[in-house]
Structures are given as C-alpha cells and as structure tokens.
Structure 1
Amino acid sequence: MGRGSTLAGLAEKVPAGRSIPDGAEQVVVMNGSRLYERRYEGKWEVQKSDPQGMLPKGVFRLDTAAPAKTDNGATYAGSILHVSAKGVYQVHGNGVARHDPTAFQQVPKVGDSPKIEYANGRATVAGCDIPPPSQTKGRSR
C-alpha cells in the first residue's frame, strides 16, 4: 500500500477466498466521526454518521463480534460502539463483544464506557442498574 491509502481502501482489498458478505456491518471511528456501515453489493455504505465522542479510533466489525459469555461473574469493560435490536456492541480487548439487549434492565448508550457484569443470565451496568423507586424498600415522603 502506498501513500494516500484509506481505511475504505483496506476494507475493499480482502484476500481472495475471504470475501465479506453482503449484510456485514461495521463501525468506523476516525476523523472525529463514528460511521455505522453495512455491506451492500460488494461495497460499504454508510447507514448513520455521528460525532466520535470518546470512542477509540478504528474499524470494528459487528457481524463477527464474539457473543458475550453470560456466566455468573463474567465482566466486560470498554466503550459501547453500537446498539441495535441485534445486540449491544462493546469494545473488549482486541475485539468486539456482542451483548443480548434483552439481558439488560437499562441498555447502555453509544459512547458510554461501562463495566457490564453478568449474574443469573442478566447483564447489569455497574452504577446504572438501580431498581425503580417502587421496588426499593423504605418510606416515601
């Protein structure tokens, strides 16, 4: 690759035999923007563009994200890249973890950097999942 190469150019040059299927999804964070892209007819098409915020720079494939382990005590910490009906996608180590959105009482927002812990198959966001006032003990005034 010579000078002037772009991330889009890298995504297009996939080795033979390793094509990226249509419908694949990724988040590209660079130049102050967060781009949610979907593969269509062999090309990446931007579906949504937002400010970068505090997200780390990089290209993050969502369709190849590892499902989060829901064992008791499983913990994930990192930035939330994308939230959809398919999953809550979080930077985890050198990859992306996909959490089931139905496992949350309150789904985290894109750009948050929460610590997500699992207990009894439920995902809790440290410091955020506080029961509604009707479920707390004590008197109301």
Structure 2
Amino acid sequence: MVVQDITLETDRLRPGRGLVERACELQSALGLPVRMKMIKVLGSHADAPLSVTEVARMLSISQPTATKHLAILHRAGFVRREQVASRVHYTLDLDTVAEYRQVLDLAFRHAFTPCVNSFDCDTCPYAQTCV
C-alpha cells in the first residue's frame, strides 16, 4: 500500500487493526530504556546472534529480566528467536525496524492531514492506514 509516497506492508496490520494500533504496539514494545538498549546491543551484533545470557551480561541485568524484555520485543516483531541446541539466540529483525520508521512517519503525516470522513473511522475507506 502506498500512502503519501510511503510504502507500508499491510500484512503486518492485523484485520480490524490499522496503523494506529500497530504504531502503539511498536511504541509500547520500545517503551522502556532497557528495551531500547537491547535494540542497540542486538543491532551492534548483527553479524552474530546473542543468547539471553550474553544480552543480560552486556546490560548488567538478570537473565530473567532479559528474557522478559526480549519476549516483549519478540512479540512485537523487533527480535527474532532461533533455538540452537539448548540455547535461544536473538537477532534484530531489520524489517520491523524499517516498518517502525515507516509507521511513525506515516502516522505523523496523517496527523496533519484533514479527515475525509468526518472522523467516522468505522465507515472510512482509509481506516487501516489513518491515524
């Protein structure tokens, strides 16, 4: 889907949930400094997946805390998990990072555009990609 010169993969927008819901889901996943730091750690180790133990050690947090936050990032799509023997390795999903940037850009562009449907989102043909 192309809206205002930005292509957004609509397959990540779940049925009945549009741009606003996806933007909030992504924002929520990044809503704590420790998760932003995890994005940085995984992004700077793009050539080698990291275990939860390695992520925890780098951030000086407990393994259970790291596991909890990595799970939240994984549910939002920011992090990929791969089982290797008895360990789980994590990598940053660059497609979701790109999507996040697109969603925010699109959301802010729409925020300054007049509504064409009198704010009746239920009947609006643009409801999936509007804010």
| TM class, shorter-length | under 0.3
TM-score normalised according to structure 2 size: 0.23
Query: Computing the radius of gyration over CA atoms, which structure comes out larger, 1 or 2?
Result: 1
Q: Which has the higher contact order (CA 8 A, sep 6+)?
A: 2
Greater percentage in strand: 1
TM-score normalised according to structure 1 size: 0.22
Greater percentage in helix: 2
